[in-house]
Amino acid sequence: MPSAVTQEIVLQGIPVSPGIGIGPVHVVARGFSAPEVYEIREEDVPAEKERFRAALEETKGQLDELQQRLKSISGEQESEIFEAHLMVLEDRAMLDRVAEAIAERRQNAEFAFYAVMQHFLEAMRRVPDPYLRERTTDLEDICQRVLRNFRAEEAPRHIAPDGQHIMVAYDMTPSDTVAINRRHVLGFATEVGSVNSHTAILARSLGLPAIVGLEDAVLDVRTLAPAILDGYSGRLILYPSPETLDRYREIQARKEKVRLDLEAQRDAATATTDGRTITLSSNIEFLDELGMVLNSGAKGVGLYRTEFLLLNGEEMPGELEQADTYTRLAKALAPHPVIIRTLDAGGDKLPVEPLTEPEPNPFLGWRGIRVSLDRPGMFKEQLRGILRASAHGKLAVMFPLVSGIGEIRRAKDYLKECMDELSKEGVPFDERLETGVMIEVPSAAVIADLIAPEVDFFSIGTNDLIQYTVAVDRVNHHVAELYRPTHPAVVRLIKKTVDAANDAGIWTGVCGEMAGDIRLTPLLLGLGVEELSVGPHQVPGVRRAIRALSHAECAAMADEAVRTPLSADIMKSTLSLAQKYYPELLD
């Protein structure tokens, strides 16, 4: 045993589930490695296919058991995560490709399965949307379970401390999270992951404090080291001093009071102190997130991303299958609205038509509305699915990455064609379906006054708007410091967009990361934004921020911000109001 360490060590990660855990660390090391590969004879092919079938059936049984366990803990909505896993195991295209690989490669079944799934996983890893890339963890979870079930011995189990502890791992899959003994595990920290991963969703659902992005934690952290996991700030503190322990126990008590206060405001009107009502809605991508939306008190969905629905398989789901998903959303959230964004992924990632070679710069390439307009059959199938579902609730459609009016008019023409077709077929739909666009390209913001008469609403996608305006890739560490939400050009473009919408009598929302950053809530409200769409877990804090602010005071600050030359000074101004009215949320 190495000698005792007494000096406090602080590791910084990304917070994904709030809360504080105090206890010893348990380190879990794991990985997704290739199985053994060997050649088989032609007469062995049927037996290998049978081995594959048996492994799948064993895995289905395990997932069903986990689903029932989660249902008993958290209810129906969260347990639907494993329905998606079971659907993967029953996907006919996947089953056929594995069977073909066994026969054509003349290799053992487990390696054929591994090769097929890794091909699909690699395609997902190349999707430019970080949210979608994180979904590879779900598929890796399925793959590992299937591969384990090819073997006779039981799946490996990790020896954990008998008492309460903090788990540190390279990654946590959804089934790992569900299988956690909550009486023993105080929270977990991983090297990889994101705030939008299924694992993070489940951690919040189960009330487990969690951190991701803790680089080299598995290598650097020692098992049984005393620690504090801070799910609010993203810190893992090893060997905490007595003073640090006392401080965190005080924080625990204070945060618990704040949580109870926020929970008590769940059904409160989202309005400023001087009476300006702000619509507060959620961003989602999966049906299993509906439970969190409903529990948060959000007034509908301001952004439903359809990329995973459309890309999660060998073939894009058809009109009726899409309509079923959209209908379930509409019914679950009625009478509140659901805004469905049409496909917004790089064209080279479409499973129905991969490009022959990668684009030099996919962020400036064939993506967003450009792909849909170039593939009208695919686009109309999605629009018809949305229209069918609109008969069952309040839906709206939103076009991504528009750069000019021509794209909007072409998209609306296709929507009108779909309406005419469904009318002739006798299919009911909402003839007054609202149509909006995302303002995320600077050219669209500059001509917002010309675009506004063409649509029913604007939704500002701040992530791309900032990147395109200041020419900075926010995940590139060389220039990430230049990615500034309060850059004067960004602030002016948001103001210009809101003013154009007001002049045309339509509303403006924000669905990017700025919407969920409570430091920027005073600025956005002051600029005139009428709707904020955030992650479900961010809703309570943003609601509290809105209810504490005066719109008139925010507007005065924003008027000054538009004339301020430095982004740091604009941040200082908006942060000053945030600290004045809800300091307890910023601790």
Whole-structure pTM value: 0.69
* Cα–Cα distance for residue pair 34/369, rounded to 1 Å: 38
Set 85, 198, 336, 392: catalytic member: 198
Q: Are 508 and 498 in contact (CB under 8 A)?
A: yes
Annotated active-site residue 198? The verdict is: yes
Amino acid (one-letter) located at 557: M
| pLDDT by 10-residue block (mean), the chain, 587 residues | 65 88 79 68 91 91 81 64 76 89 85 77 66 70 85 40 79 65 85 68 71 82 85 93 94 84 89 97 87 91 91 84 97 97 71 62 86 94 98 97 97 98 98 97 98 98 92 71 92 98 98 90 98 90 96 98 98 98 88
Angle at 378 between CA 375 and CA 383, to 5 degrees: 115
User: How many residues does the structure list for the chain?
Assistant: 587
* Residue 437, SS3 per DSSP: strand
pLDDT score recorded for residue 33: 60
What single string gives the DSSP state of each residue in 498-511? HHHHHHHT-EEEE-
Angle at 460 between CA 454 and CA 463, to 5 degrees: 140
The 8-class DSSP code of residue 3 comes to: P
* Residue 231, SS3 per DSSP: coil
Q: Which has the closest alpha carbon to 511: 280, 197, 283, 277? A: 283
Sign of CA dihedral 289, 290, 291, 293: positive
CB-based burial of residue 61 (10 Å sphere; 0-12 exposed, 13-18 middle, 19+ buried)?
exposed
pLDDT score recorded for residue 545: 97
The strand pair at 9-12 and 235-238 is best described as: antiparallel
Tokens at 331, concatenated = 């019914």
pLDDT score recorded for residue 133: 62
Q: In order of start, what are the domains of the chain with their CATH numbers?
A: 9-30+158-240 (3.50.30.10), 42-148 (1.10.274.10), 306-436 (3.20.20.60), 440-530+537-587 (3.20.20.60)
Set 26, 392, 487, 511: catalytic member: 511
The strand pair at 279-284 and 235-238 is best described as: unpaired
Amino acid (one-letter) located at 306: T
Q: Which residues contact 521 (CB under 8 A, 6 or more apart)?
A: 532, 542, 545, 546, 549, 574, 578
Q: Are 419 and 356 in contact (CB under 8 A)?
A: no
Tokens at 327, concatenated = 């209908």
For 175, 393, 442, 479, the CA distances from 471, given in Å and listed in that order, are: 40, 40, 11, 9
The alpha-helical segments, DSSP class H, found in 164-241 are 174-179, 198-206, 217-220
Sign of CA dihedral 19, 20, 24, 25: positive
Q: Which residues contact 31 (CB under 8 A, 6 or more apart)?
A: 170
Q: Which residue has the tokens 């809605």?
A: 281
Q: Which has the closest alpha carbon to 388: 305, 319, 285? A: 319
One-letter-per-residue 3-state SS of 235-269: EEEECCCHHHHHHHHHHHHHHHHHHHHHHHCCCCC
pLDDT score recorded for residue 182: 66
Annotated active-site residue 511? The verdict is: yes
Q: Are 32 and 144 in contact (CB under 8 A)?
A: yes
Q: Are 373 and 401 in contact (CB under 8 A)?
A: no
Please report the beta strands in 61-136, taking only residues with DSSP state E, as ranges in sequence order. Answer: none
Which helix (H) or strand (E) segment is 72 a member of? helix 45-74
